[in-house]
Chain A
Amino acid sequence: MQPNLWQRLDILARALTPLALTVLLLLFSLTPLRSPYLAPVMPSIALIAVYYWSVFRPDLMPSGAVFLIGLLHDLIGGGPFGIGILALLMVQAAVGAQRKFFATAGFPLLWLGFAVLSAGAQLLIWIFSSALIGRLVDPSAVMLQYAVTLAIYPCLFWLFGRAQQLLLRDAEPVR
């Protein structure tokens, strides 16, 4: 049976959930929290989002969406331009290449996988940023950001999981 217009709109809206949620969180991460201990370093939400959706719903996180998230991330981030896009695309490609592993992994293994992949991504970002700025950027800030991102991963994992359950439960494809 052909779905009518409203059903199709509904399906489209649901399919846009991962992208929309990520963009929202990115904007949210810009608000000044002024927490005395976290001030200069916010977790890289884009990294977690791209990883999560590439693992669970790769059909809803195509390269184009990753590119868009990276573009937004780099534009609002204010750092050297284009590097975030590259790092996010690499993470997506890495997940795609190891789909068999990720399809069977539970939460601890996924966290571990994220630790490895985001370490690679942060290293890539650090190298390219230093190259583009023309000086070695203090790596301690990058490491702190890595640690914070890793620590916040379970929270976002839970949040994305809830969103997936609520909005994308029907039409769940094979992982």
Chain B
Amino acid sequence: MNKRTGKVVRLATPLKAWTQRFAFLLLVGAAFGLMLLGKIDTVLIERARTQLADAMAPLLDAASEPVATVNGTLEDMRDLARMREVNAMLRAENQRLLDWRRSAIALAAQNAALRDLMKLAPDAEQRYVTARVVADQGNAFVRSVLVAVGKSAGVDKGQAALTGSGLAGRVVEVGDKISRILLITDINSRIPVAVGAAGDKAILAGDNSPKPSLMYLLPNSSVKVGDRVVTSGNGGLFPPGLPVGEVTEVADGSVRVRPYVDWEHLDYLRLVGYDLPGLIADFIGKPATAR
């Protein structure tokens, strides 16, 4: 190495180290900036997230396919092993369901007659879209999933996401091909519900644990273990009467609910649009701000 380059290296090394340190500090500062931005301008971040998810949609869709297949095969094998047992169980359940069906038909007829008698305004029109769950947020701070439908299929913010067994969550972001569902167990989830036969009003509040709790129950309410929890339809966000879960724990000040949804088999979600009759909808506006 000649004298000249030696000098350059001597000068350049600390300069390089200094630039690196400066760049690092700049990036740490940027991280803090983004944190603040995320806190102040939630909409901007959500739009960025949705756009990214949209861009990844085909990839996620493709990736979730083999996983679903493997899961399905494993499940098939398990089912095959206990076919006899399951068959007997299903027979019994079918019997029970037939009974239920008979009483449901009778009740529906009676309900229609009574509604007619009371001149009750008809319920708002409901629209359904079914979508495959393509991604799962594996994170200790958030409980949400992505589904492979978006604006083009008529999905809207605030719609309820259901499985066959009950309410799973709510649409919080909508992209062109992908939407994010905030599950009812998420720490940010708040759902107006009605509890038990008396229909005590409360708010179902998630806390990232598998069992969300009921808030704002009136002190004299008669909630007990085993009570059914359904959506109340308050706030115009959800149709009333969607099954949510069952009360499993009543201690003073804390009521826990076990959701009906089977979280391990969240393969498809049905998104329910709910069109409130004109005037009220205009008055409430888009349910998007009700986060």
Q: Indicate whether A and B interact.
A: yes
Interface residues of B in 120-149 (CB under 8 A from A): 133-146
Please list 7 pairs of residues, one from A and one from B, whose beta carbons are closer than 8 Å in the complex, sorted by A's number. Answer: A30-B137, A34-B264, A76-B49, A83-B31, A126-B140, A133-B141, A141-B208
Interface of B is mostly: helix
Are A138 and B59 in contact, with the CB atoms below 8 A? Answer: no
Query: Taking the nearest CB of chain B, how far is it from the CB of A76, in angstroms?
Result: 7
A82 adjacent to B31 (CB under 8 Å): yes
In the complex, per-residue mask of B134-174: 1 if CB is within 8 Å of any chain A CB, else 0: 11111111111110000000000000000000000000000
Contact of B20 among A41, A63, A85, A137 (CB under 8 A): A63
- By a beta-carbon cutoff of 8 Å, the part of chain A in contact with chain B is 27-36, 39-43, 62-64, 66-67, 70-72, 74-83, 85-86, 89, 93, 125-126, 128-129, 132-133, 135, 137-138, 141-142, 144-145
* Secondary structure type dominating chain A contacts: helix
Chain A binder among B21-29, B230-238, B242-250: B21-29
Cβ contact within 8 Å between A32 and B32 = no
Residue B113 lies at the interface, judged by CB distance under 8 Å to chain A: no
* Contacts A78-B180, A81-B34; A27 near B140 (Cβ below 8 A): no
Q: Are B142 and A77 closer than 8 Å at their CB atoms?
A: yes
Residues of chain B lying within 8 A (CB to CB) of residue A141: 140-141, 208
Q: Give the residues from 71 to 120 in chain B that come closer than 8 angstroms, CB to CB, to chain A.
A: 71
For residue B63, which residue of chain A has the nearest CB? A31
Q: What is the bound-complex CA distance between A81 and B20, given in angstroms? A: 25
Are A133's CB and B138's CB within 8 A? no
Q: Which residues of B contact A63 (CB under 8 A)?
A: 20, 23-24, 27
Chain A CB count within 10 A is highest, among B35, B140, B188, B208, for B140
Taking the complex as formed, is B214 at the interface, i.e. its CB lies under 8 A from any CB of chain A? no
Most buried by B among A29, A70, A76, A133: A76
Contact between chains at A137 and B187 (CB < 8 Å) = yes
Check B35 against A128 for contact (C-beta < 8 Å): yes
